[in-house]
């Protein structure tokens, strides 16, 4: 999605803004620009394409302005172009705005503004903003921004500068994230924390409906009626280096390699030393509420949805409660039946995904207790849920989610085991066994990330294939979905995941000579059945890579290549099985020369519907 940055302080603004935009590049974008104020005018520099294009434009020029805003655009209204790139200005060129989100009523606003004589230069929804502010400006920028915001429908985060009041930056948040960075004698604005980390770790996370006014010597946060809000300073614990590549070619590869640590961090302090229980002191849901549960919904998007699918199997198996998993964009519109005794688990790495947030709000509106599993402290999801379980994965920069997924799975195990313990559906022996295995997952994950030679060879083989199939049963099917999404999104090869038993009901017709099939076989109770499905595709000429649990030797007889997953409890296998699939997607994308960290058309955090 779009990225916003802002700066006000003693330093030269342009380089700080561009550096901030570089840190937001991972969000995905198609144009970039900055606006700086000074000497009674505003200077706008913007360019279609990668940030490189803007930097080339700026190259060799000197700028002295100390106040500015910047933007990376991910096109929604109007194609990527120089005119549609932000910042946008009013008719006089004295007001500049950058915006993230969608102004749903922009057409009617535009018509009205045109009838008042305003002239538009772009096809964007954003351009109504500077014109509205111009329309309402009577010597008080803040007041004009407030009046303009009150006319808007939709989700937005905006930053405004004006040469009328050059030492001021006004920011508004409504359903789209914004963070103020508190430096020493300087202030920053960003739509995401990595853009601030080089300068400060002290932040104000703005809530919906809040307005921040940044001036050289102070920051004020207020509501729409200009009532002062006393914000709590949130100290970000991430190190700036965590948001850098650290010697890896891509963020995605770095993040795959960070999984052992991310798992350790997510489990840390949450499993009793003697493996007798899960410690989830952070959740407020009471044992009484847990015992009264009748149903669980899990809702999320993309990779987080796939983590929810694993969660369903695990909770149903351990807690014996019915679980429905929903794609968040479906959940919110299908009038889900939420009765007393319903728990809703929301999963979101960013905690800002628009559909997921809307699903959370719908669940709360209907009275469910909501537990959020998220990676971003202070995110919207974390603030609105009744309970939060943080995945301690650290910043995930690559668009393709890897360590967020494995730590989401880790969190689902913790939740399932906690519920099962309270409801008495798990025997102490089984609980101890699973917890002890969980503590060994980091070391086993390490073995998998360190041994990728065979995966790389298979990637070379499939990199010119047109289509791939991923098959598995039960938990393996859930992981197959994630494996196929990873491949699609970064290598642009068509890939589908199928429940192995479903193949012969149609899809088997697509299997012909040399079609690559990735077969997952880690579940002992389904072993024979899966092996016979692998046999079915093998017999039709497919080139089969099997990922099997150590010891499942028979799989070798029906596949062309077998990679073994270190032995673990079958319920925990997904955390390990997905790692070779992530590596397969990564190496295939590299072999095809794709932009691994910034796949086409995609954004890291989908803050629009």
Rounded CA gap, 336 and 532, in Å? 38
Q: Please, which residue, 54 or 157, has the CB nearer to ligand M6R?
A: 157
| 348 contacts ligand M6R (rule: CB under 6 A) | yes
Could you tell me the CA-to-CA distances from 475 to 220, 316, 318, 551, 552 in Å, in that order? 50, 12, 14, 18, 16
| 588 contacts ligand M6R (rule: CB under 6 A) | no
Which of 31, 84, 303, 406 is close enough to bind ligand M6R by CB under 6 A? 303
CB 359 → ligand M6R: shortest distance, Å? 10
What is the torsional sign of CA 447, 451, 454, 455?
Answer: positive
- Interactions with ligand M6R, residue window 6-65 (CB under 6 A): none
52-79 in b/e burial notation, b at 16+ Cβ within 10 A? ebbeeebeeeebebbbbbbbbbbbeebe
| 301 contacts ligand M6R (rule: CB under 6 A) | yes
| 605 contacts ligand M6R (rule: CB under 6 A) | yes
| Window contacting ligand M6R (CB under 6 A); options: 176-184, 209-217, 346-354, 556-564 | 346-354
* In the block, residue with structure tokens 């930097």: 55
Rounded CA gap, 197 and 238, in Å? 8
Rounded CA gap, 303 and 324, in Å? 16
* Position with the least CB separation from ligand M6R: 302
CB 273 → ligand M6R: shortest distance, Å? 31
Show the binding pattern over residues 370-409: x = contacts ligand M6R (CB under 6 A), - = does not.
Answer: -----------------------------xxx--------
CB 229 → ligand M6R: shortest distance, Å? 26
Q: Please, which residue, 8 or 298, has the CB nearer to ligand M6R?
A: 298
| Window contacting ligand M6R (CB under 6 A); options: 90-98, 347-355, 522-530, 540-548 | 347-355
Q: Please, which residue, 342 or 407, has the CB nearer to ligand M6R?
A: 407
Q: Please, which residue, 578 or 606, has the CB nearer to ligand M6R?
A: 606
Are 155 and 102 contacting, i.e. CB atoms less than 8 angstroms apart? yes
What region, left, alpha or beta, does residue 71 occupy, with left being phi > 0 and alpha being psi -120 to 50 degrees? Answer: beta
Which of 31, 81, 163, 350 is close enough to bind ligand M6R by CB under 6 A? 350
Return the closest-CA partner of residue 319 out of 311, 329, 309.
311
Which of 68, 302, 311, 574 is close enough to bind ligand M6R by CB under 6 A? 302
What is the torsional sign of CA 563, 565, 567, 569?
Answer: negative
| 89 contacts ligand M6R (rule: CB under 6 A) | no
H-state helical runs in 500-564: 527-539, 555-558
> Helix, strand, coil % (nearest 5) of the chain?
40, 25, 35
SS (H, E, C) 158-214: EEEEECCCCCCEEEEEECCCCEEEECCCCEEEECCHHHCCCCCCEEEECCCCEEEEE
- Interactions with ligand M6R, residue window 464-503 (CB under 6 A): 489
Q: Within 13 Å of residue 298, how many CA atoms lie on the same side as its CB?
A: 30
Are 452 and 353 contacting, i.e. CB atoms less than 8 angstroms apart? no
Identified catalytic residue from 23, 94, 598, 604: 604
- Active-site annotation holds for 301: no
- Interstrand relation of 3-8 and 494-499 (parallel, antiparallel or unpaired): unpaired
CB 561 → ligand M6R: shortest distance, Å? 25
- Active-site annotation holds for 604: yes
CB 396 → ligand M6R: shortest distance, Å? 8
CB 525 → ligand M6R: shortest distance, Å? 29
Q: Please, which residue, 100 or 533, has the CB nearer to ligand M6R?
A: 100
Find residue 556's DSSP bridge partners: none
Structure token digits, residue 396: 């995930």
| 442 contacts ligand M6R (rule: CB under 6 A) | no
CB 65 → ligand M6R: shortest distance, Å? 34
Structure token digits, residue 231: 């914000």
| 452 contacts ligand M6R (rule: CB under 6 A) | no
What is the total count of residues that contact ligand M6R (CB under 6 A)? 15
Identified catalytic residue from 2, 301, 521, 594: 2
Which of 72, 89, 299, 356 is close enough to bind ligand M6R by CB under 6 A? 356
Return the closest-CA partner of residue 483 out of 326, 355, 330, 310.
310
Which residues form the interface with ligand M6R (CB under 6 A)?
A: 301-304, 348-350, 353, 356, 399-401, 489, 605-606
Q: What are the catalytic residues?
A: 2, 604
């Amino acid at each position: 999605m779009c990225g916003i940055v802002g700066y006000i302080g003693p330093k030269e603004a342009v380089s700080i803004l561009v550096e901030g935009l570089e840190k937001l590049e991972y969000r995905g974008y198609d144009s970039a620009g900055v606006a700086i104020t000074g000497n009674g005018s505003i200077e706008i520099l913007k360019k279609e394409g990668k940030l490189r294009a803007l930097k080339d434009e700026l190259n060799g020029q000197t700028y002295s302005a100390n106040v500015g805003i910047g933007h990376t655009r991910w096109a929604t209204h109007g194609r990527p172009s120089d005119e549609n790139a932000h910042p946008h200005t009013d008719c006089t060129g004295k007001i500049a705005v950058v915006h993230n989100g969608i102004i749903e009523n922009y057409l009617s606003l535009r018509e009205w503004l045109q009838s008042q004589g305003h002239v538009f230069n772009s096809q964007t929804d954003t351009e109504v903003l500077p014109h509205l502010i111009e329309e309402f400006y009577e010597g008080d920028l803040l007041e004009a921004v407030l009046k303009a915001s009150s006319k808007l429908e939709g989700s937005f985060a905006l930053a405004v500068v004006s040469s009328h009041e050059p030492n001021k930056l006004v920011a508004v948040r409504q359903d789209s994230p914004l963070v103020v960075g508190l430096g020493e004698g300087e202030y920053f604005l960003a739509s995401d924390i990595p853009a601030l980390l080089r300068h400060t770790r002290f932040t104000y996370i703005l809530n919906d409906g809040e307005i921040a006014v940044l001036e050289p010597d102070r920051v004020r946060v207020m509501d729409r009626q200009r009532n002062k809000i006393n914000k709590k300073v949130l100290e970000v614990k991430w190190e700036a280096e965590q948001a850098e590549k650290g010697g890896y070619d891509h963020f995605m590869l770095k993040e795959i390699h960070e999984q052992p640590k991310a798992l350790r961090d997510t489990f840390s302090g949450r499993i009793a030393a003697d493996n007798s229980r899960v410690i989830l002191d952070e959740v407020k849901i009471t044992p009484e509420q847990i015992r009264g549960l009748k149903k669980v919904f899990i809702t999320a998007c993309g990779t987080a949805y796939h983590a929810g699918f694993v969660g369903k199997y695990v909770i149903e198996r351990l807690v014996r409660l019915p679980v429905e998993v929903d794609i968040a964009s479906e959940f919110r519109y299908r009038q889900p039946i939420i009765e007393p005794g319903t728990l809703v688990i929301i999963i979101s790495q960013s905690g800002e995904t628009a559909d997921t947030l809307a699903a959370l709000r719908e669940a709360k509106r209907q009275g469910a207790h909501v537990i959020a599993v998220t990676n971003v402290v202070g995110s919207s999801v974390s603030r609105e849920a009744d309970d939060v379980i943080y995945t301690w994965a650290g910043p995930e920069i690559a668009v393709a989610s890897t360590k967020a997924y494995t730590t989401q799975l880790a969190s689902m195990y913790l939740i399932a085991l906690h519920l099962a313990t309270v409801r008495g559906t798990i025997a102490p022996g089984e609980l101890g066994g699973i917890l002890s295995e969980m503590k060994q997952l980091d070391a086993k994950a390490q073995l998998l990330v360190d041994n990728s030679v065979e995966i790389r060879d298979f990637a070379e083989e499939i990199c010119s294939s047109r289509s791939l199939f991923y098959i598995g049963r039960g938990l393996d099917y859930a992981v197959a979905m994630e494996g196929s999404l990873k491949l699609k999104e970064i290598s642009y090869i068509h890939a589908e995941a199928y429940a192995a038993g479903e193949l012969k009901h149609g899809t088997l017709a697509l299997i012909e000579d040399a079609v690559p099939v990735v077969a997952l076989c880690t579940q002992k109770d389904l072993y024979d059945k899966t092996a016979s499905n692998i046999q079915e595709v093998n017999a039709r000429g497919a080139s089969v890579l099997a990922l099997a649990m150590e010891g499942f030797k028979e799989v070798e007889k029906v596949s062309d290549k077998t990679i073994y997953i270190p032995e673990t409890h079958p319920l925990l296998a997904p955390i390990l099985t997905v790692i070779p699939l992530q590596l397969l997607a990564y190496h295939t994308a590299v072999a095809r020369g794709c932009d691994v960290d910034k796949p086409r058309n995609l954004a890291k955090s989908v803050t629009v519907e």
